[in-house]
Structure 1
Amino acid sequence: MTIDYDAKMPETQSGTEVYNTDPLIVKSSYEIDYIHSYAQDSEFFRALGKKKLMGSKCKSCGYVYATPRGHCMFCGSETEWHELPNEGRIHTFTTCYFGSEKFLPETPFNLIMVEFEGVDSLFMARLIGASQEDLKIGMKVRAKFKRNLTFSPTDVYFVPMKE
């Protein structure tokens, strides 16, 4: 057995970002893989690959949701899948100047709430192809779908339509 009394941990050229010294606040980054199930919402994400938006409709009272749910929030009855139109209008919008690490390089970006004919609730998505100055309540928009699915809500986005 050999003992090394001069052993050292390897040093790196990178340091630690310090934001405050009292109390000490430092920046630490880490990556994590997260395995999760879409469970009852799986059909919504599979449908995006078929260029379809799926919401849900109450089997009892007929309320149509732009975002799927298993049970009606008004009467508690089960819902069924309901295909949404791919065209709608901007109900409201906001411009995001900050985002998660994934979206930070794309800031600023526009988020819209889309209203569809015959649908009782709104659908939130990104809008591309229009500057903030061009956005208007009531503007016609249509859904577009990414060719290479990531099975995430960002697989669908909207673009302006000609009036």
Structure 2
Amino acid sequence: PDPVTRIVTEARLDYTHTPGRAQSAHLAALGEQRIVGERCPSCRKVYVPPRGACPTCGVATTDRVGVGPAGTVTTFCIVNIKARNLDIDVPYVYAHIALDGADLPLHGRIGGIPYDQVRMGLRVEPVWTADGRHPDHYRPTGEPDAAYDSYKELI
């Protein structure tokens, strides 16, 4: 008989994640419709979501800092493939958003604007879920676009 060269089978991974001090504070603030990060005492950069340590310096971060809620789209992509179990019509825009006061962009979906009008520098604000636990998406604030020099280091 021919040798077995592949086996196809379903796989499942179950895991439990326990957030640490920094993530717990971030999640608690999101429940109050606030966004917080932590500042590195060495390089002074503010990271959102906080990690508990600076990824650049390796120093513990303990100084909690409120950021945003508004921010600037630094880069984005237009998604044209429908994701399984995601009730969002395609196309939609997923972006890196530099929240005001943060030194690292976070990921978020852009809504409230046609996908072909999203651009780098667009000023956006969060739209919270009904339960207020996290932003559902970000929408334009109506402010003028941010100057490229204000976010070019975050691309």
Given the two structures, how large is their TM-score scaled by the length of structure 1?
0.69
Aligned-pair identity (%): 25
Moved over 3 A (4+): 23-28, 30-35, 104-107
* Partner SS, residue 48 of structure 1: helix
The within-5 A match list for 1:94-109 is 94-98=77-81, 100-103=83-86, 105-109=88-92
Tell me which of 43, 48, 54 is aligned to 1:72: 54
RMSD of equivalent CA atoms: 2.7
How many correspondences in the alignment?
136
Q: Which runs of 5+ in 1 are unaligned?
A: 1-22
Q: Which has the higher contact order (CA 8 A, sep 6+)?
A: 2
Task: Report the Cα offset of residue 39 of structure 1.
Answer: 2.7
Deviation by residue 1:95-130 (Cα, 9 ceiling, x = unmatched): 222354221654332111112333221111111111
Counterpart in the other structure of 2:37? 55
The within-5 A match list for 1:2-151 is 35-40=16-21, 41-80=23-62, 81-98=64-81, 100-103=83-86, 105-149=88-132
| Alpha-carbon separation, structure 2, partners of 1:105 and 1:27 | 29
Asked if the contact 1:96/1:107 (under 8 Å) is kept, the reply is yes
Give the greater-gyration-radius structure (CA): 1
Q: Which runs of 5+ in 2 are unaligned?
A: 144-155
Q: 1:143 to 1:104 in 2, by over 3 A?
A: closer
Given the two structures, how large is their TM-score scaled by the length of structure 2?
0.72
Counterpart in the other structure of 1:162? 142
